[in-house]
Amino acid sequence: MKKKENPATDGSVRVRYAPSPTGVLHIGNAQSALFNYLFAKHYNGTWVLRIEDTDIARNVPGGEKSQMDNLRWLGMEWDEGPDKPNPKYAPYHQQERVKIYHKYIQQLLDKGLAYKDYTTEEELQQMREKQKANGESPKYDGHWFNASEEQIKEAEEKGIKPTIRLHLPENTLIEWDDLIKGHIEFNTDNLGGDFVIEKSNGMATYNFAVVIDDYLMDITHVLRGDDHIANTPKQIAVYQALGFKQPRFGHISLVYSTKTHKKLSKRDKNTKQFIHQYRAAGYLPEAVFNFTAFLGWSPVGEREIYSREELIENYDINRMSASPAFFDQKKLDWINATYIKKFSVDELYKRIGYMIDAQESDEAKEIADKGIMNDDGFVKSIIKIYQNESTTLMDIMKNMMKYYDITNYDLSYNDFDNFDNETSKKILDSLKSELQSYDGDVHLSSDDVTAMLKKIQKELGCGAREFFMTLNITFTGSQSAPQISDIMSLIRVKDLIKLIDKAEKVL
């Protein structure tokens, strides 16, 4: 059973998102960040960004910047972090906190709660192999705990660089009431033995550094992915050894793939799962934020479209789900399309402008090269026409490119096969002769086009279906299109005539 948690709203809540800069911002990272953000904002607390960069070999260039840029793109601004230090808690990079870790490690060494371990890599390997052969799970046997002065001297003389391990009490229960998963307990005998808190290169390990940081940064609630559950008993052992008050822990259910029913794998190339990919593909940050908030949490009721403010207001840690969250691309698409419908044309024009400036896709580059955004009347017309049927801003951008250059666009005329071509031809002939009375360089208004089409349809007396499909195919290359008079008003008269000629060749 989960115990209800009602954190104080007096500003004392402090939570953190603590990425390792080993990669760019992933949907799973965004999920952790977001629930910490919502938690902090809902309870008037502070949201801290800390960079856990102790695993130097795994850090990737640009990893930290990607984390920060993409959090900001999602509209999540931290209250404290490397670029906004609170002097009481800084620094916020673990690499800059090495001295602090040493101080506490020394305390544990002095108390005999931690010890130097001179086991070599080969010896560790042998130990593991032997255990494996005996059908035992791997466990450090603790044989350097209580080593004699002589043994230590001998190892030092050999030049072996020791690690430092925390000594675990034997057969002791470590337990906590998880805010999301309920009661969890481990026996210290099942934690793989005394574990390393400082590597031989002098760097504290994650399981040690994280405790010191969370303690010194006054973190009240640790919310992180449930892949960390096995680390938590080790961290609690550190809290206990140092006599620190421990925070509350909540382990967020990870995101699973609807296709494989397994944890979303960063190697799965079929699923877009990095935030910069959504950004480049024309998803709105509001939509991705809304979607992510439902990965492992839901408010009361059926509604699924929530603004950031509404999510902050309605967020309740007690409604986090203990079972996996499934990544449903269709739902993300639906949410994104819903936001595109809701936004004003001017706002969408601005958002597309950001994408063109960022040039994160070939389409954005091409639109920038051709200067299409400068024709804002044209772009806004396209937005108005396609806003209600676009899943992403990219869909709108593709139509911008298509109609900007429509006479060179490779329209498909295959659909004419399903038609009575004679009637189509008649329709196009009449339209062409009407159009020839205009200056070729002008655009007709949508109303003028509508009037012209009505007149032709009446004169020819043909059915609406055939009439409009002929026009749809001729000017858009597909049977179904939004309001054709709107589309035709985007195209200069001379280009409308060119397209008619092109279509008639096929007919």
Binding site for ligand GLU (CB under 6 A): 18-20, 52, 210, 224, 228
Place of tokens 């590597």: 199
Nearer to ligand GLU among residue 228 and residue 492 (C-beta): 228
Measured from the CB of residue 250, what is the shortest distance to ligand GLU in angstroms? Answer: 11
Q: Which helix (H) or strand (E) holds 215?
A: helix 206-216
Measured from the CB of residue 205, what is the shortest distance to ligand GLU in angstroms? Answer: 12
Nearer to ligand GLU among residue 167 and residue 224 (C-beta): 224
**Angle made by CA atoms 213, 219, 224, in degrees to the nearest 5:** 85
Measured from the CB of residue 54, what is the shortest distance to ligand GLU in angstroms? Answer: 9
Measured from the CB of residue 295, what is the shortest distance to ligand GLU in angstroms? Answer: 16
Q: Which helix (H) or strand (E) holds 163?
A: strand 163-166
Nearer to ligand GLU among residue 42 and residue 251 (C-beta): 251
Place of tokens 């001998």: 154
Measured from the CB of residue 246, what is the shortest distance to ligand GLU in angstroms? Answer: 13
Pairing type for strands 163-166 and 195-198 reads: antiparallel
Place of tokens 């009721």: 301
Measured from the CB of residue 20, what is the shortest distance to ligand GLU in angstroms? Answer: 4
Query: Alpha-carbon distance 109 to 123, whole Å?
Result: 23
Nearer to ligand GLU among residue 210 and residue 337 (C-beta): 210
Place of tokens 């190892």: 155
In this structure, are residues 140 and 195 in contact, taking their beta carbons and an 8 Å threshold?
yes
Nearer to ligand GLU among residue 144 and residue 206 (C-beta): 206
User: 3-class DSSP state for residue 274?
Assistant: strand
Pairing type for strands 114-117 and 163-166 reads: antiparallel
Measured from the CB of residue 34, what is the shortest distance to ligand GLU in angstroms? Answer: 14
Query: Alpha-carbon distance 329 to 258, whole Å?
Result: 9
Nearer to ligand GLU among residue 29 and residue 446 (C-beta): 29
Query: Alpha-carbon distance 263 to 258, whole Å?
Result: 9
Measured from the CB of residue 17, what is the shortest distance to ligand GLU in angstroms? Answer: 7
In this structure, are residues 396 and 390 in contact, taking their beta carbons and an 8 Å threshold?
yes
In this structure, are residues 210 and 176 in contact, taking their beta carbons and an 8 Å threshold?
no
Nearer to ligand GLU among residue 244 and residue 334 (C-beta): 244
Nearer to ligand GLU among residue 19 and residue 193 (C-beta): 19
Q: What is the DSSP letter of 136?
A: P
Torsion sign (Cα): 65, 71, 75, 79: negative
Nearer to ligand GLU among residue 21 and residue 282 (C-beta): 21
Integer distance in angstroms from the first to the last C-alpha of the chain? 71
What are the CA-CA distances from residue 347 to residues 132, 218, 397 (Å)?
Answer: 62, 40, 14
Q: Which two tokens stand for residue 218?
A: 């006054």
Q: Which helix (H) or strand (E) holds 402?
A: helix 393-404
In this structure, are residues 385 and 482 in contact, taking their beta carbons and an 8 Å threshold?
yes
Query: Alpha-carbon distance 116 to 168, whole Å?
Result: 14
Q: Which two tokens stand for residue 199?
A: 């590597």
Measured from the CB of residue 94, what is the shortest distance to ligand GLU in angstroms? Answer: 9
Nearest Cα neighbor of 246 from 267, 218, 223 is: 218
**Angle made by CA atoms 245, 251, 253, in degrees to the nearest 5:** 175
Nearer to ligand GLU among residue 256 and residue 378 (C-beta): 256
Measured from the CB of residue 273, what is the shortest distance to ligand GLU in angstroms? Answer: 15
Nearer to ligand GLU among residue 18 and residue 295 (C-beta): 18
